[in-house]
Chains A and B, each alone.
Chain A
Amino acid sequence: MNRFFGDKLTGGGARLVALGAAVVLVLIGLAMAILNEAAYKSQKAREIGVQAQIVAASVAPALMFDNPAAAQEYLQALSADPAVEATGLYDATGARIAAFNRSGEAPAPATVRLGPAVFAGQSLAVITPVVRNGERLGVVYLRTDTESTWRRFSRYAGVGVLILLAALVMTVFGLAQSALSEANASLRERAARLQQEIEQRERAEEALLQSRKLEAIGQLTGGVAHDFNNLLTVVLSGLRLIERNPDPARRASTMEAMRQAVERGAGLTRQLLAFSRRQALTLEPIDVGKHLQGMRALLERSLRADILVDIITPDGLWPVKTDPTQFELAILNLAVNARDAMPKGGVLTITAANAFEDKDQLVEIEVRDTGVGMPRDVAERVFEPYFTTKPAGQGTGLGLSQVYGIVTESGGRAAVESKINEGTTVRLLLPRSKEAPATETVAVAAPAQRHVSGKKVLVVEDDDTVAAMVSDMLQQMGCQPTRVANAADALDALAQRNGYDLVFSDIIMPGSMSGVDLAHEIHRRDPVMPIVLTTGFSGQAQIDPEFPLLRKPYQFEELQTVLSQALRP
């Protein structure tokens, strides 16, 4: 907008300058014309004066020897000059003895008196004495037309040319200005259109991304539904077994089976959430082998029955730092691609191995299929976003770009090798992490129980079932839980009794305050109060990194670990 006005101002300035230049040119032209006129008149007066002197010299003999006829002939001869209007010869007494005038012009006056040249309109009259040997013989009168049409034209041509130039300058400036503003306008229009296109494209990309997630979920649905049915079956039958079987040992083993089934279900929902990309990218040290082996069931269920899945992970793999869900999604993407490359079945081999590259220590994950392969030019482009060889509606072209994205985010790189009819190998190279995978710390969290024991915990949870369960778990840890249903009640509780050691709050709650808002409000009142948040959703906007977050569903040990870390002074 400023630019727009700036252009306008500049344009106005240029126009003003052009106008000024034009006016100056015209003024110069007028001044030149006036000077020209004066110079021309004096020059003309001199010229006609000289001409009159020549006439005087010519007619002198006729005057000396009293020959009016000869004088008349001389004057008549002047008619050859078209500028001469009238002329007259006067003797020493002042009598006119000869005269000539062009038809239509006034004749020479009957008597004349010596004086300066006289301009009358375009006519210039000059009176010159006729002198011979110092003897004044008479006078000559000569009147000429000073300005022929051509002369007048040429005299004013200069002014005309200047005015023409001024007009031309104005016209050119005007045209240039309008062309410029037109160009500006079209440029703005194009910029706006481009902006619009960019926005449309961004929206389309977003939609594509979402559809890709849906596609991935779709890919998983079969397997997941099957898994869920299985685990629900396990839980249902387990419950019946517990109800009917009084044997504590059988009940324990049944409960263990149920726990495993529920864990598996929790893992599946986690993966579903990850695929729908509602979880923020968090890089953490992971054991690649463990994650790959954990995907075995998922992959076997996601791929077709005619595809043999072989996952080879040696012990002693170095940890790598990456986002576990994104990593698994990358593997799934590669697996889905491999499946599509093997329409007649084949073998999908996923191997992981430690590797060296110069001094760098890397973990190499190789995903190899025995499919149709692809030509070199396609292989070179597979990591480009939206590049796809799949028919419209079957692929988004984002799968391998997701692979490339997470590998790059993790500080690694990806490479593709492919041979037609022999298959494709994708290698992911991730740098070794100095940190050990977090699961090991969870494993040693047991001693934390002592730390948690005896603490007064305010549980903020709107769901009665969940609240009851959390309270139960806290009591088992040795804590003294107090449950409230919303943020307002929590603040009241804290105000009434000041003895709480920790607040454990759900994020999504009825009422105007969320768990995050509540946490901030508590910290405003008591900056050192430990707070742990928990949520079943993982929208980024709801998360505040200031507070430890425990994602639902969580296990007993996880809750214990998070609480003990939050309580640690």
Chain B
Amino acid sequence: MWRAVAFVAVLVALLAGGVAGSRAQTAEDLVKATFLYRFASFVSWPSTTFADPQKPIRLCVVGAEPLAGQLQRATASQHVNGRGFEVVQIASASAVGGCQIVYVVGDRVDDVLRAAYGRPILTVTDGAVDRGNNRGVIHFVIVDRRVRFYIDDARAAAGHLDIDPRLLGLAVSVRRRAAS
């Protein structure tokens, strides 16, 4: 609980502006971490994804160790539809198979996206960190000093993921999937 309070406090500080860069970065990471686990409640995976109803949702982080730590703490008490979260740091793209959500930044973005494409994995890339053109299903950006995101629903469709229209409605823009 206190973590949430801290998060909120930081968030408020961020929105108010006038904070040091590193602390701003930390606050931004906290927001992103919060968004990451919250995405889980607006995405449906194919029924085969979770064999065990108790099995937690695996949140994988590639190339962002501080955020992984944040995420670890943020998700500690969270759950979606009775499932908890499992935060895993992975090193290679080949390891994305067991993940439901992958947050990837840095030079392994392309590999991970390639490896995850067509699989039921919600890939999240970060325009605030990377300048590359390759984007995951969700792509973070900073708009008006707020964390926002694009959604590539076509890519989600390729991985048999369904994204709640309410989440789509919050995206800066959406790349529509082909009409089924």
Using a CB–CB cutoff of 8 Å, the interface residues on chain A facing chain B are: 58, 61-62, 64-67, 70, 91-93, 95, 132-135
Contacts and interface: CB of A to CB of B under 8 A. Distances in A.
Given A92-B4, A133-B41, A66 B169 contact: no
Interface string B144-176: 001111000000000000001011011000000
A97 to B, nearest CB: 10
Interface residues of B, number: 22
Contacts of A91: 8
Nearest to B81: A133
A66 B147 CA distance: 8
B170 A93 contact: no
Contacts of A132: 38, 41
Given A61-B166, A65-B170, A66-B147, A92 B79 contact: no
A133 B80 CA distance: 6
Task: Report, nearest first, the 3 A-B pairs whose CB atoms are least far apart.
Answer: A61-B166, A64-B38, A65-B170
5 contacts: A61-B167, A64-B38, A65-B38, A67-B148, A91-B8
Contacts of A95: 12
B78 interface: yes
B78 A61 contact: no
Nearest to B12: A93
A66 B146 contact: yes
Nearest to A58: B166
Contact of B8 (A61, A62, A92, A133): A92
Contacts of B78: 133, 135
Contacts of A62: 170
A92 B41 CA distance: 19
Given A65-B35, A66-B146, A133-B81, 10 more contacts: A58-B166, A61-B169, A65-B38, A67-B146, A70-B170, A92-B8, A93-B8, A132-B38, A133-B41, A133-B78
Interface of B: 4, 8, 11-12, 31, 35, 38, 41-42, 78-81, 146-149, 164, 166-167, 169-170
A66 B11 contact: yes
Contacts of A66: 11, 31, 146-147
Nearest to A97: B15
B153 to A, nearest CB: 16
Contacts of A92: 4, 8
Contacts of B31: 66
Contacts of B148: 67
Nearest to A60: B166
Contacts of B11: 66
B45 to A, nearest CB: 16
Contacts of A61: 42, 164, 166-167, 169-170
A66 B12 CA distance: 11
A91 to B, nearest CB: 8
Contacts of A65: 35, 38, 149, 167, 170
Contacts of B41: 132-133
Contacts of A133: 41, 78-81
Q: Which residue, of A62, A93, A132, A135, has the highest number of chain B Cβ atoms within 10 A?
A: A135
Residue of B8, B38, B146 with most chain A CB atoms under a 10 A cut-off:
B38
Nearest to B164: A61
A134 B81 CA distance: 10
A67 B79 CA distance: 22
Contacts of B80: 133
B122 to A, nearest CB: 15
Contacts of B169: 61, 70
Nearest to A132: B41
Nearest to B14: A66
A67 B167 CA distance: 11
Nearest to B4: A92
A133 B41 CA distance: 8
Nearest to B31: A66
A138 to B, nearest CB: 10
